[in-house]
Amino acid sequence: MSSNVSVTSSIINSPICGSLEPGSHSVQFYRNDEFLVDELSRLLGSALGSGDAAIIIATKAHREQVGKLMKARGLDIGVAARQGRYVCLDAAETLAKIVVGGWPDAGNFIRVIGEVIGGARAATLRAEAQVVAFGEMVALLCAEGKSEAAVQLEHLWNDLASIHSFSLRCAYPLNAFSRSGQAGSFEKICAAHSHVIPSERFTVLASEHERLRTISHLEQKAEALDAEVAERKKVELSLMRREAEFSDLLENAVMGVQQVGADQRIVWANRYLLALLGYSPQEYVGHLISEFHAKREIFDDFWQRLMDRQNIYDFPAELRCRDGSVKHVLIHSNGLWENGRFVRTRCFVRDVTEHRQMELALIQSEKLASVGRLAATVAHEINNPLASVMNLVYLARNEAPSPSSQNYLEEAQEELERIAHLTKQTLGFYRSEGAVAPMRLSSIVRSLAAMLSPKISNKRVRLMIEDDGDPEIFTTPGEIRQLFSNLLSNSLDAVGQGGTIRVRISEVHEWSNSGAPGMRVTIADSGCGIPAENRARLFEPFFTTKEEIGTGLGLWVCKRIVEKHQGTIRFRSDTRPGQSWTAVSVFLPQLGGGTSALGAAPLRAA
Amino acid sequence: MRGMAHRVLIVDDERRIADTSALILQGVGFQTAVAYDGACGIDRCREFQPHLVLTDVVMPGMSGIEMAITIHREFPQCAILLISGQAATADMLEAARRQGHSFELLAKPVHPNVLLQKVAQILKASDAVAVTK
C-alpha cells in the first residue's frame, strides 16, 4: 500500500457508494489510494456532518490523508474528535491487541472494538445516532498472506453486530488478489460482507446502460482469460513434464554432464559425474571448476578455447577425485552465448582412466618385451664367439705352457663359464629337452633339491617337500626344471642361516582359470620378504636386488615359461621383521594330451 | 677305442669352432674331418664315412637339420648330434620330428669336457647297436 497519497481537487465522483445503509457490512475494492481516501472522506465526513459517530482503523497514511481531505471540505474534525465522535486508530496497533498466535481472538476483539464503538456512540449524545466504521486490519492480514485470518476477522465483525449497532466499511487493494489461486479467499471475503463494491473503475460509471456494456466486456475478458489460463496451465504442465524427462535423461546418462557459469563456477552436474569423482552436490556444485582440475595449465587452455568460441572435442584432462585420486577424462564442450555475452558451458565428460591405464600397461609391456628380445638376441650372438673361446682356452691348457699361463687360462676358463651361465639362464630352456613329455613335478623338484644340496646344507636350511597326489603332467621338462630351479635358488638366496623352505605340490582346479584342472606348486620361504616397492617390478628383465650375483633375468624367464604353459604365477609376501615370508605359487594346467598344445608353440626369444 | 679310432665329421659355418672342436677331438684320439657348410658336409660325409656327424644348425644355405636328414637317409648307421645357439632350432627340430627324424641337440656353448663326454656316450650306444645288428 502506498503511503504517498496525493490528494487533488479533482475528486472522483462516487454516486452509489458515498453512504452506508445502517447495519451494513460492505467491502470496497480499490486500485488507487487516492480513490480510497476520497471515498472514505465522503463516507466518514457525511456521518460526522450529520452528528453521527465515525471510526477509522487504518494505516497512518490513510488516516492523515482522510483527515486532511475532510478538513479541506470544511469539516471541523478537531471538535468531533474532542467530542469522541471521531475515533482514529492505527490498524497495526489495534490488530496487535486482538491477535493471539497469528489468529484474531474473539474475546479480545469484542472487548477492544466493542469499547470503541460503545464510546463513539455515547459521545453523540443521541440514542438514534449511527456509528460508521472503516477498518483495514483485514487488509493488513491479507497483505501478510493470512487471508484465512482475515476472513475470520470479518466474521468477528459480523458477530459484533449482534451486540453493537454500526455500519462497517472494509477496503482491500485489488492487487492483493492478483493471482488466480486467490479466487477462493476473494470469494470467502466477499461472502462475509453484505455489500461488495467493485473498484473505482466501475463505480464511477454513471448510467445503467454504461454498466451493462461494461459487464459484457468484463464477461468476455474473463472468458478469454479463463481459456488462456487453462491453455497456459496445459503448456506449463507439458513443459514441466518435458523438463522432468530431460533432467531424468541427463541424470541417468552414463557420461558426466555439467554446466559451468561465466564466473567459472559449477552450475549443475549430473549424478554420474558426482559419482565418478566421489563428491556430494554440496561439495561440487557452486565451486570453481578449476579447483577440480589436477593441472591448472590444462584448464586454462581449455577455458581459453571456450572463450575463443571453439567447439571442443575429446579434450584430455585430469580431474581430482574426493579421495585424492585422479581421473583421466575426455571433455566435449562449447559455450552458450547470448547477445555476444558468454552465459555458460555445456560439458560432456567421459572417463577414460581404465583405458589409459591399459594403454600405459601396454606401452610398459611392449617396452619390456623389446628389452627381452634384445637380451635374447645378444645372448644368442654371444654363443658362437663364446664356444670358440672356450675351445681355444681348452686347447691352450692342454698345450701345457708355463705354470703362470696355466693359471691365467684357468681363470679365463672360469670367467667364460660365468658368461655361459648368464646366457643359459635366459636361453638354457631352449635346449634339446624341448619335447613335451609326461613328468611328475615332485621328481623334478626333488632332483633340483639334490642338485642344490651343497648350498642347502651350507646354509643349514630346512627344506620340506610335500605332495598330495602327484599325477603325471605333460610339460617340457627342461623348461619346468629351469622354472623351479630359478624359484628355489631365489628362496635359498632369501632365507638366512637356518631358514625354512617348504614346497607343496598338489593337484587342484584353478578357479581363476575357468576351473581348469592342473598342478599347483607353492614354494614358501622364511626369507626377508619382498618390499612393496619391488613387487610390481618382479618380472621385469634386469630387475634385481642381488647386485653382486643376480642377472635380473631369473623371474622374467620364469614368467615366460609359465605363460607358455598357460599357467599362472603369483607372489605373496610379508616383510614385517621377525615374521617375514614369501610364497610363490605356480599353477600349471593339465593340457589334455599336452603334446600338440605345447609342441606347436615353441618358446621364442621374447 | 684307440685301436678302432672313430671318425667324427664336424660341420659349422663358424670356422674357428669347427677347427678347434676337431683339434679337441683329435686330442683324445678321434679321426676328424671338417666342413663349413651343409652341402660340403654331405660331400665330406660320403668321402669320410664318419661314425658321427657333429653339426651346427643355423648356417647359411643348407641348414644343419636339412643336411642331417639327407645324411640320415643315406647313412642310417651314422650318428648325428646337433649343436645350436638359436631358439629357432626348436621349430626346425619339430619339423624334422614330424618327418620321422629325431635328432639330439646340445645348446651352445658346450664345454669341451661335456662335448667329449657326449660324443663318447653316443658312439658307445651306436657301437652297441652295430654289435647287436
Interior/surface letters A113-132, b for 16+ CB within 10 angstroms, e for the rest:
beebbeebbebbeeeebbbb
Banded pLDDT at A92 (limits 50, 70, 90): very high
Pick the residue of A382, A416, A430 with the most B CBs within 10 A to test the interface with B by mutation: A430
Task: Report the residue count for chain B.
Answer: 133
Buried/exposed code over B44-82 (b: 16+ C-beta within 10 A; e: otherwise): bbeebebbbbbbbbbbeebbbbbbbbbbbeebeebbbbb
pLDDT beyond 50 at A604: no
pLDDT at site A536: 80
A435/chain B closest Cα distance in angstroms: 8
Q: Rounded to whole angstroms, how far apart are CA atoms B61 and B36?
A: 11
Distances (CA, A) of A582 to A418, A488, A491: 28, 12, 8
Are the beta carbons of B94 and A599 separated by less than 8 Å?
yes
Task: Enter the C-alpha cell of residue B133.
Answer: 645288428
**Chain A residues lying within 8 Å of B20, measured CB to CB:** 388, 391-392, 394-395
B8 or A595, which is more confident: B8
| Cβ atoms of B7 and B51 closer than 8 Å | yes
Residue A507: per-residue pLDDT? 87
Q: What is the least distance, in Å, from the CA of B70 to any CA of chain A?
A: 20
The sign one gets for the Cα dihedral A152, A153, A158, A159 is: positive
Interchain contact, B107 vs A428, CB within 8 Å: yes
Cβ neighbours of B14 in A, within 8 Å = 384, 387-388
The minimum CA-CA distance between B133 and chain A, rounded to whole Å, is 28
Mean pLDDT across A282-292: 95
Looking at every residue in chain B, the average pLDDT score rounds to 86
Answer whether B20 sits within 8 Å of A417, measured CB to CB.
no
Q: In the predicted model, is pLDDT for residue A239 greater than 90? A: yes
Q: What's the whole-number mean pLDDT along residues A423-445?
A: 64
- A10 falls in which pLDDT band (50, 70, 90)? very low
Question: Does the structure show a pLDDT above 60 at A5?
Answer: no
Question: Is A80:A66 a contact under the CB 8 Å cutoff?
Answer: no
Rg (CA), chain B: 14
Which residues does B contribute to its contact with A (CB < 8 Å)?
Answer: 14, 16-17, 20-21, 23-24, 27, 82, 85-87, 89-91, 93-94, 97, 104-113
DSSP 3-state of A338: strand
From A144, A55, A61, select the one nearest A96 (Cα to Cα).
A144
Q: What are phi and psi of B111, to 5 degrees?
A: -65, 135
For B20, which of A388, A435, A604 is closest by C-beta distance? A388
* pLDDT confidence of residue A468: 81
Contact A550, A538 (CB under 8 A): no
Tens digit of pLDDT for each residue in A563-588?
878 889 999 999 888 889 999 999 99
| CB atoms B107 and A380 under 8 Å | no
Report how far residue A329's alpha carbon sits from residue A276's, in angstroms, rounded to the nearest whole number.
Answer: 10
Inter-chain contacts counted by CB atoms under 8 A, chains A and B? 83
3-state SS assignment for residue B2: coil
More confident position, A421 or B92? B92
Distance between CA atoms of residues A474 and A479, nearest Å: 12
CA atoms within 13 A on the CB side of B70: 16
CB atoms within 10 A of CB A283: 12
Measured distance CA(A437)–CA(A595) in Å, rounded: 7
Residue type at A351 in one-letter notation: D
Q: ω into residue B109 within 30 of 0, thus cis?
A: yes
**C-alpha distances out from residue A100 to A91, A103, A107, A145, A490, Å:** 16, 5, 10, 17, 90
How does residue A126 score in pLDDT terms, banded at 50, 70 and 90? confident
Nearest Cα of chain B lies from the Cα of A547 at a distance, in angstroms, of 25
Per-residue model confidence (pLDDT) at position A416 = 80
A271, A252 contact by CB (below 8 A): yes
A364: left (phi over 0), alpha (psi -120 to 50) or beta: alpha
* Higher-pLDDT residue of A435, A315: A315
Residues A475, A476, A479, A480, CA torsion sign: positive
Contact A425, A557 (CB under 8 A): yes
DSSP, collapsed to helix, strand or coil, labels residue A105 as coil
DSSP A220: H
Q: Is the pLDDT of residue A9 over 90?
A: no
pLDDT, mean over chain A: 84
Q: Return d(Cα B1, Cα B120) in angstroms, integer.
A: 10
How many CB atoms neighbour CB A158 within 10 A?
14
Chain A positions in Cβ-Cβ contact with residue B24 (cut-off 8 Å): 391, 394-395
Spatial contact of A154 and A138, defined as CB atoms under 8 Å apart:
yes
pLDDT at A439: 80
Per-residue pLDDT for A482 more than 90? no
Q: What is the mean pLDDT of residues B36-57?
A: 94
Contacts with A116 (C-beta within 8 Å, 6 or more apart), sequence order = A55, A87, A89
Query: A163 vs A426, which has greater pLDDT?
Result: A163
Give the pLDDT band of residue A366 (cuts 50, 70, 90).
low
Question: What single-letter amino acid sits at A5?
Answer: V
Q: Which residue of B has its CA nearest to A398?
A: B27
Is residue A131 over pLDDT 70?
yes
Instruction: Please give the share of chain A, as a percent, with pLDDT higher than 70.
Output: 86
Within a 10 A sphere around the Cβ of A357, how many other Cβ atoms?
Answer: 11
pLDDT in tens, A332-348: 999 999 999 999 999 99
Residues 6+ away with beta carbon under 8 Å from A101? none
CB contact under 8 A, B90 and A602: yes
* Ordered DSSP codes for A401-462: --HHHHHHHHHHHHHHHHHHHHHHHHHGGGSGGGS-EEE-HHHHHHHHHHHTHHHHHHTT-E
State the pLDDT at residue A371: 66
Taking CB atoms and an 8 Å limit, are A391 and B24 in contact across chains? yes
Q: Quick one: average pLDDT of A212-226? A: 87
Task: Give chain A's radius of gyration (CA, Å).
Answer: 51
- A147-160 and A106-124 are packed helices; what angle lies between their axes, rounded to 10 degrees? 50
Which range is least confidently modeled, A101-105, A138-142, A488-492, B129-133? B129-133
Return the residue of B nearest to A386 by Cα: B109
Under the banding of pLDDT at 50, 70 and 90, the label for residue A486 is confident
B-chain residues within 8 Å CB-CB of A390? 109-112
3-state DSSP percent of chain A in helix, strand and coil, to 5: 50, 20, 25
Query: DSSP of A154-197, one letter per residue?
Result: HHHHHHHTTTS--EEEEEEEGGGG-SGGGHHHHHHHHHT-SEEE
- Whole-angstrom Cα distance, residue A421 to residue B5? 33
CA distance B45 to chain A (A): 23
